[in-house]
Structures are given as structure tokens and as C-alpha cells.
């Protein structure tokens, strides 16, 4: 019997699940969009493990969403995952956040889809995105992109393109092609991590716990605090 703890903190959603033999049997999620990962994650992990009727020592692996996404959110999730793997001496699995979103969309957007384009808001008109074919294989690498009218032209001319995630709203008013379909209510979740995590576990595609880092895509830049009275 295989137990994998799944952790998703790459965006404003905090999602934790426990998979047994390839099926999620316990899940806890917060969609308040308050970035409360630091206060919720530990309790969510404890709740899903207890709900499954097991102890942490019964885990066989931990799978974590590796990004792209929020710098702080990714650090929290990856740090927790690595800490568990170190303490329990179990393998670490990483799942691309955009690929996991594509697995979520595949079950909610119909069968006539030529391309899946998950988008994560990266502020202003920029999004993190990638393109997947109907079999959910990546056909354009993950990238940070400023959306304009021609961003998805070569895909829109070939068939129905499903655009989803919290970055999709930015594109709705810009991409007017009839083949574009928008789903703003599909967000990262451990539900989308299940299949890729299960496959990686089966193939023993594990990360080096000591050296693994989240996939930030862009360097973190800390803003300077404003001092009252100064320009």
C-alpha cells in the first residue's frame, strides 16, 4: 500500500492531499486567496494524514508543486516537503504547477480541445504559462510572457485553445479569436498533481533533497519599503 502526501502552495491556494494507491483519499484546501500558507500548511498536513487513518511514518513519498508561482508560497511548500522527507527518509517528488493545472482542466473543459494553456498571474500584463497538447504533453516550454493580441496565434489557428487559471482574465479582453475559451475558475490543486506524482513515483523519478529548489522562473526582487515623508 503506497501513501504519497501532496502539497500545493505555488499560488494563493493552499492545498494538501493524501493519495493511497493512486487515489486521493483525504484533501484539505483553502481558497480564500489570503496567502495563509505559513499558518495553514502544517495543520492541513496533520489533518489529511489523520483523516486517512495513518501516521506520518507510514508515508512513502512527498510530492510538492515546484512552480512557477509565488516566491514565498513555493518556499513554504518546498521547505515543508523537504523537511518531511529528511525526517522520514523518504523520496521527494516535484510536479510542475502548470502541468498539474492542465490535468485539472482536462476533466472540466470538454473533449474538443486542441491545446491547454494554463496561466498564473505574474502581475501587470505578465503571466506564467505553458502549452500542452490533448494528451497533456508539453509542446511549449514554461515561460513568463506579457500577453498581447498575437500571443497564441499559432495555436488558435489550429483548433480550440483552452486558457485557464488566475491569469486567464488578463487575456479575455485581448485574445478575441473564436477558438479561444476561457476558464478563470480552474486553480492549482493537489487533485491535478495526482497523476504526474504517481507516474514519477512508479518510475522512481525523485529529487535530490539537499539540492532541490523551486522553479521560480524569475528572480525574486524585494521591494524597498516606503518611508513616510520621503519620495
Examine the pLDDT at 113 and tell me if it is beyond 90.
yes
Rounded to an integer, what distance in angstroms lies between the CA atom of residue 213 and that of residue 203?
21
Query: Which value, to the nearest 10 degrees, does the dihedral of the CA atoms of residues 88, 89, 94, 95 take?
Result: -50
Rounded to an integer, what distance in angstroms lies between the CA atom of residue 17 and that of residue 23?
10
Examine the pLDDT at 228 and tell me if it is beyond 50.
no
Contact 31, 180 (CB under 8 A): no
Structure confidence at residue 219 (pLDDT): 56
pLDDT digits (tens, 9 = 90+) for 41-85: 999 999 999 999 999 999 999 999 999 999 999 999 999 999 999
User: Of the given ranges (54-58, 126-130, 147-151), which has the lowest mean pLDDT?
Assistant: 147-151
Rounded to an integer, what distance in angstroms lies between the CA atom of residue 110 and that of residue 126?
27
Rounded to an integer, what distance in angstroms lies between the CA atom of residue 163 and that of residue 50?
36
Q: Per-residue confidence at 210, pLDDT binned at 50, 70, 90? A: very high
Structure confidence at residue 38 (pLDDT): 85
Angle between helices 97-106 and 190-202 (to 10 degrees): 110
Rounded to an integer, what distance in angstroms lies between the CA atom of residue 205 and that of residue 28?
26
The mean pLDDT value for 179-199 works out to 95
Rounded to an integer, what distance in angstroms lies between the CA atom of residue 137 and that of residue 28?
28
Write down all domains in the chain, each with its CATH number in brackets. Answer: 3-96+188-202 (3.30.420.40), 109-183 (3.30.420.40)
User: Of the given ranges (135-139, 152-156, 184-188), which has the lowest mean pLDDT?
Assistant: 184-188
Q: Per-residue confidence at 37, pLDDT binned at 50, 70, 90? A: confident
Q: Which residue has the cell 479561444?
A: 180
The mean pLDDT value for 181-209 works out to 96
The mean pLDDT value for 190-204 works out to 97
Structure confidence at residue 32 (pLDDT): 78
Bridge partners of 61, per DSSP, are 4
Contact 62, 83 (CB under 8 A): no
Examine the pLDDT at 229 and tell me if it is beyond 70.
no
Averaged pLDDT of the chain: 91
Amino acid at each position: 500500500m503506497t501513501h504519497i502526501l501532496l502539497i500545493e502552495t505555488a499560488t494563493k491556494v493552499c492545498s494538501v492531499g493524501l493519495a493511497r494507491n493512486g487515489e486521493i483519499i483525504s484533501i484539505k484546501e483553502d481558497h480564500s486567496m489570503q496567502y495563509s500558507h505559513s499558518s495553514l500548511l502544517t495543520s492541513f498536513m496533520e489533518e489529511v494524514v489523520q483523516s486517512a487513518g495513518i501516521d506520518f511514518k507510514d508515508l512513502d513519498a512527498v510530492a510538492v508543486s515546484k512552480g512557477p508561482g509565488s516566491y514565498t508560497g513555493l518556499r513554504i511548500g518546498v521547505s515543508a516537503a523537504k523537511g518531511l522527507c529528511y525526517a522520514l527518509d523518504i523520496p521527494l517528488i516535484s510536479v510542475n504547477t502548470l502541468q498539474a493545472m492542465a490535468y485539472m482542466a482536462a476533466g472540466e473543459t470538454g473533449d474538443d480541445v486542441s491545446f491547454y494553456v494554463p496561466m498564473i498571474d505574474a502581475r501587470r500584463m505578465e503571466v506564467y504559462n505553458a502549452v500542452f497538447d490533448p494528451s497533456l504533453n508539453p509542446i511549449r516550454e514554461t515561460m513568463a510572457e506579457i500577453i498581447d493580441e498575437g500571443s497564441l496565434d499559432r495555436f488558435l489557428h489550429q483548433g480550440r485553445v483552452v486558457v485557464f487559471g488566475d491569469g486567464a482574465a488578463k487575456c479575455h479582453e485581448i485574445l478575441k479569436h473564436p477558438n479561444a475559451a476561457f476558464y478563470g475558475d480552474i486553480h492549482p490543486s493537489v487533485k491535478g498533481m495526482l497523476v504526474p506524482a504517481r507516474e514519477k513515483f512508479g518510475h522512481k523519478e525523485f529529487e535530490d533533497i539537499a539540492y532541490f529548489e523551486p522553479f521560480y522562473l524569475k528572480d525574486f526582487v524585494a521591494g524597498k519599503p516606503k518611508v513616510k515623508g520621503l519620495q
